[in-house]
Amino acid sequence: MIANYGYKDGSGEYFIVMDTDRCDGCGDCVTRCPAGVLEIILNDYDEKVAAVTDEHRRKLKYSCAPCKPVSNRPVLPCVAACKPEVLRHSW
Amino acid sequence: MAQEFWRWKEYNWRDPNESWKNGAFLTGGVDVGSVSTQAVVMANGTLCAFANMRTGSDSPDSSRKAMNWALEGTGLTMEQIRYIVGTGYGRVNVSFAHRTITEIACHARGANFMYGPTVKTVLDMGGQDCKVIRCDEKGKVSAFLMNDKCAAGTGRGMEVFADLLSVPLEQIGDLSFQVEKEPPPVSSTCVVFAKTEAVGLLRAGWPKNDVLAAYCSAMSHRVYALLERLGVENDFAITGGIAKNPGVVKRLEGELKLKALTPRFDPQLAGAVGAALFARTLAQKEGMA
């Protein structure tokens, strides 16, 4: 399943895109995210997968901002932590 | 009391052929949305009874009320429903549910049942958010996109406009086509700003129907952008209350250059129907049926 968590508003599109078919639910991304944006859930089809917490879904632009400096942006910690390449940011 | 133009009709229904009560395995689905609540009763996977009402400010109470209303006149009680799944925005408030499932999975499953297995893309236009869901021929979600941050492009926005223009909610769609020339869409995405803009248009001498047309096309435009992001694969279906508003549906069909399928039941029921179908599968998995 391609899960798009986030929103679009007047200032742009802010989605974290998860390809849950690749996710093994290891939780490495959860521990590496400094803002606590991610969690491991049991989804509707009883698969253990990473997801964006309810709390952060409506404010991703701000939650993720500290990891996105304007220049010299390093690879995002959540993306770097994920070996199966599940996770992608839309902005 | 002044007429409440935004107030849409609440109703319940039951299958007049009452043979379904005899020995069938009954499952229930309750979809507690931000604006409306639906309760559905299914017997061996066919729809038997349902109720559709406003959620109001007390969602635990409205989930119970909706289920009781769906069962009204059937002679059945809630205890006789073997497995109930709660879904929707207020799903945690369905105290009598055996399990909760997200509305995304339920809408896909419900649309698969209501529109047939050819449905690949579902657009749910709810009371307070809209979602685009891609699913397979079994109704399993393959991709989804949700915009729950604001109420633009949703039923709540339509209610605000019904109230502002004193037009009954159900008539907005038809009236929005009674215009001399299609006006440009309202430019604001936000419902509050759109309302301000509409007041300005009225003051500038726009007829009511033109303002309705401008709002319907703004809404269609907004969800079109959401659909484009995920991609649309035929067949395409719309669920949720706005699916009953031709002013938005026809304009969206025009933008997409494809037709939306016609449902077998009220499109607002999709989530609850999906939940009742999940209830059946889960009961079977747990060895109850």
Which among B102, B147, B150 has the least Cβ separation from residue A44?
Answer: B102
Q: Which two tokens stand for residue B16?
A: 């007049």
B153-196 pLDDT per residue, tens: 788 899 999 999 999 999 999 999 999 999 999 988 788 889 99
Reply yes or no on whether the pLDDT at B39 is more than 80: yes
pLDDT of residue B59: 81
Q: Which of B48-62, B141-155, B236-250 has the highest mean pLDDT?
A: B236-250
Is pLDDT above 90 for B3? no
Residues of chain A in contact with residue B142, where contact means CB-CB under 8 angstroms, are 1-2
Among the listed residues B180, B182, B183, B154, the one whose alpha carbon sits nearest the alpha carbon of residue B169: B154
ipTM score for this prediction: 0.88
**Residue B289 confidence (pLDDT):** 67
Taking CA atoms, what residue in B is nearest to A14? B147
Does residue B271 carry a pLDDT above 70?
A: yes
Whether omega for the bond prior to residue B61 falls within 30 degrees of 0, making it cis, is no
Q: Do B288 and B82 contact (CB within 8 A), yes or no?
A: yes
Interface mutation vs chain A, best among B92, B145, B281, most A CBs within 10 Å: B145
Round to whole Å and give the CA distance between B140 and B132: 14
pLDDT for the residue B148: 63
Which residue ranges does chain B devote to CATH 3.30.420.40?
A: 11-110+269-285, 118-260
B contacts of A10 (beta carbons < 8 Å) = 189-190
The pLDDT value recorded for residue B136 is: 95
* List of domains in chain A: 2-89 (3.30.70)
Option in A2, A15, A44 nearest B142 (CB)? A2
Helix axes B246-256, B208-230, angle to 10 degrees: 50
- Mean pLDDT (chain B) is 92
Q: Which residues contact B153 (CB under 8 A, 6 or more apart)?
A: B125, B130, B147, B189, B218, B219, B222, B223, B226
User: Cβ of B229 and A45 within 8 Å?
Assistant: no
Encoded amino acid at A3, one letter: A
Give the homologous superfamily in CATH for domain B11-110+269-285: ATPase, nucleotide binding domain (3.30.420.40)
pLDDT tens digits, B122-136: 999 988 888 999 999
Record: fold of B118-260: Nucleotidyltransferase; domain 5 (3.30.420)
B149 → closest Cβ in A4, A7, A45: A7
To test the contact with chain B by mutation, choose from A11, A44, A53, A60 the residue with the greatest count of B C-beta atoms within 10 A, namely A44
B144 Cα to chain A: minimum distance (Å): 5
Interface of A with B (CB under 8 A): 1-5, 7-10, 13, 15, 43-45, 57-58
The predicted structure's pLDDT at residue B170: 93
pLDDT tens digits for range B96-109:
999 999 999 999 99
Which chain B residue has its CA at the smallest distance from A19's CA?
B143
Beta strands at B26-32 and B36-43: parallel, antiparallel or unpaired = antiparallel
Q: Which of B142, B144, B148 sits opposite A7 (nearest CB)?
A: B148
CB–CB of B204/B235 below 8 Å?
A: no
Q: What would the pLDDT profile of B192-241 be if each residue is shown by its tens digit?
A: 889 999 999 999 999 999 999 999 999 999 899 889 989 999 999 999 99
pLDDT digits (tens, 9 = 90+) for A27-80: 999 999 999 999 999 999 999 999 999 999 989 999 999 999 988 888 999 999
> In B, which residues are within 8 Å of A7 by CB distance?
147-150
Instruction: Give the model confidence (pLDDT) of A75-89 as tens digits.
Output: 999 999 999 999 999
Decide if pLDDT at B1 tops 60.
no
